[in-house]
Amino acid sequence: MQALQRPLQAVFNVLEGWLDRPFGPDWNPLYHLGALGFFYFWVVAVSGIYIYIFFDTGISEAYDSVEYMTHEQWYLAGVMRSLHRYASDGMVAMMMLHLVREFSLDRHRGSRWFTWFTGVPILWLVVICGITGYWLVWDTLAQYVATATTEWLDWLPIFGESVARNFLAPYFLDDRFFTLMVFLHIAVPLILLLVLWIHLQRVTKPEIFPARGLAIGSFAMLLGLSLFWPALSQGPADLSRVPAVVGLDWFYLIAYPVVEIWGAGPAWALAFGGSMLIAVLPWLPPLRKRSVAQVDLANCNGCTRCQEDCPFAAITMIPRSDGRPFEREAMVDPELCTSCGICAGACPTSTPFRRASAFVPGIDLTDQPLSDLRQRIHDGTANLTGDRRVLLLGCAHGIGTGKAVADNVAAVQLPCIGALPPAFIDYVLSRDLADGVFLAGCKGGECYSRFGLRWTAQRLTGQRDPHLRARVPRERLGQLQAGARSGKHLATAVRAFQAGLPQRPPEPESPRTREAETV
């Protein structure tokens, strides 16, 4: 599977790099594909409600009413019709890119299987919405779509009567068929909305609306496109004639040429087989489950910070079970935990200064405990010498900090940059383990574990607990700038940081003789 993911990842890497320059991480469309998909959905919904006001159901009325909107009331209903079409196409584009990108980043396995799996019916529902929508216009494209769809459906042994017979000739067509289509075109999007809601059930704080700048830009793009290239009908449908050449919407109707070339049976096999394959991808192969976060009640005071920061709703607060005078305690759902460690980074008891008691935070990863991180920092920095010693703390999903990127730099990996309690930075600098600490998150400014970069930035700037203490000299803290996406970028950034480190003032006392601090 990695052989498939790596080239895709490389392509996205390049595209993201290009888009980072004009957009920046907050507005880069590739980092917000799901939110953009939602945004287009809302544009489709609002524009659809408007054009429904003017739409007539009937064999001739349907086409005439759409023509009225397009030509007579072009400035509003016509624009709305175009917005409806282009936003629908944009939604398909975002959906497919979202799917491929999540797969390439391996964000579909393990505890994330549910979100991936529930995305598969969304693919079907979106396509059904599009097909029923094109049907309603009742132009030559609609005639083709109606005929081809029903001929394809008739292959399935589920209809008593041939559905395609409804479109044999004008004699067979009934106004009530349009009523049915309108019903489907309204009912299916509502079902889609329900499935979208289910899709996000295991995602904390889902991004369902893009950043304002990205939303404004996207809407302006749709509006401009609607004004300069309005959606048009392709001539009235006439069942006594064959629409030999049609202008297909390739976003929605790409399956139809496949049906005609391969035949209905193989096309169904491809549709169902492809959907099944996509659905089972999380288990091809299954992700090796790392040990999940574990709560240590002796150190948990039920402060809820871990629950607040968990990106996958894996932590719930339950009534206290150990009799201690706190209202609640954290509980981890192992099925939902992705072992990112962000909860340990959020815990106020995750402080490495502890000496009086064993370093056991209120919540921690059992196979990558923070006590182990403290030890690895000690081991890594032990060999640093001189006055420009740098500790590089990097995300395992980032550019790769498994080895030192420059002289006099010790590299230590974390499961996520958000798993780093800010107290560790204070600890490294105050204990003189290094002269500077450099943090390297995920590539391109988008966190593999969703919130690691965001929470870290907020913790370092004092906007989020636990925050970095004021006494920590900020000039000794470096961060990989978002947008950097290669080892070369990282090495350059670390060397620049190293070169800019100020000289340390003479220490009044040896760190070895400093009294232990406890929490």
Partner 1 sequence: MKTFFRPAGRYAGQALVYLLFAAFLGYFASAPKYTHFPPDQALIKLSLAHGAKRVGGCRRFTRAELQEMAPNMRRPLDCPRQRLPVVVEFVIDGKTRYSAAVPPTGLSGDGPSRIYQRFAVSPGKHAIVARLRDSDRSEGFDYETTAEIELAAQQSVAIDFRQEMGGFLFRW
Taking the least distance from each CB to partner 1, the nearer of 222 and 303 is 222
Closest separation in Å from C-beta 269 to partner 1: 20
What Cα–Cα distance (Å) separates residue 105 from each residue in 2, 6, 32, 99, 313? 10, 9, 14, 10, 21
The DSSP letter of residue 367 is S
- Among residues 234, 239, 70, which one has the least CA distance to residue 146? 239
SS3 label, residue 61: helix
Nearest distance in Å: CB 101, partner 1 = 16
Nearer to partner 1, 92 or 122 (CB): 92
Q: Which is nearer to partner 1, 256 or 438 (CB)?
A: 256
Which of residues 169 and 470 has its CB atom nearest to partner 1 in the complex? 169
Contact 91, 37 (CB under 8 A): yes
Return the number of the residue (218 or 449) whose C-beta is nearest partner 1: 218
Closer to partner 1 by Cβ: residue 225 or 410: 225
Residues that bind partner 1 (CB under 8 A): 19-25, 27, 29, 85-86, 89-90, 93, 144, 148, 151, 154, 157, 160-162, 164-165, 168-172, 217-218, 220-222, 224-225, 229, 231-232, 234, 239-251, 256-257, 260, 445, 481-484
The Cα 375–Cα 227 span in angstroms is 63
| Conformation bin of residue 462: beta by default, left when phi > 0, alpha when psi is -120 to 50 | left
Q: Pick the closer one to partner 1 by CB: 122 or 148.
A: 148
Q: Which residues contact 391 (CB under 8 A, 6 or more apart)?
A: 377, 380, 381, 384, 409, 410, 412, 428, 433, 434, 436, 437, 438
Least distance to partner 1 from the beta carbon of 492, Å?
10
Cβ(110)–Cβ(287) below 8 Å: yes
Q: In this structure, which amino acid lies at residue 482?
A: A
Q: Least distance in Å: CB of 217 to partner 1?
A: 6
Least distance (Å) from partner 1 to the CB of residue 228? 8
Judged by beta carbon, residue 79 or residue 365, the one nearer partner 1 is 79
State in angstroms the smallest separation of the CB of 88 from partner 1.
9
Which residues lie closer than 8 Å to 383 by C-beta, 6 or more apart?
Answer: 410
- Listed residue (378, 384, 376, 373) closest to 417, CA to CA: 373
Smallest separation (angstroms) from partner 1 to the CB of 226: 9
DSSP code per residue over 402-456: SS-SSTTEEEEEES-GGGS-THHHHHHHHTTS-SEEEEE-SGGG--TTSSHHHHH
Cα separation, 438 vs 445, in Å, equals: 15
- Comparison of 370 and 417: residue with beta carbon closer to partner 1: 417
CA gap 101, 36 in Å, rounded = 14
Residue with tokens 């105050």: 430
Q: How far is the CB of 13 from partner 1 (least distance, A)?
A: 16
- Compute CA distances 378 → 52, 276, 308, 426, 428, whole Å: 67, 49, 30, 14, 9
Nearer to partner 1 (CB atom), residue 221 or residue 284:
221
Is 397 in contact with 444 (CB distance < 8 Å)? no
| Nearest distance in Å: CB 412, partner 1 | 25
Please state, in angstroms and rounded to a whole number, the distance separating the CA atoms of residues 352 and 426. Answer: 9
CB of 185 to partner 1, least distance (A): 18
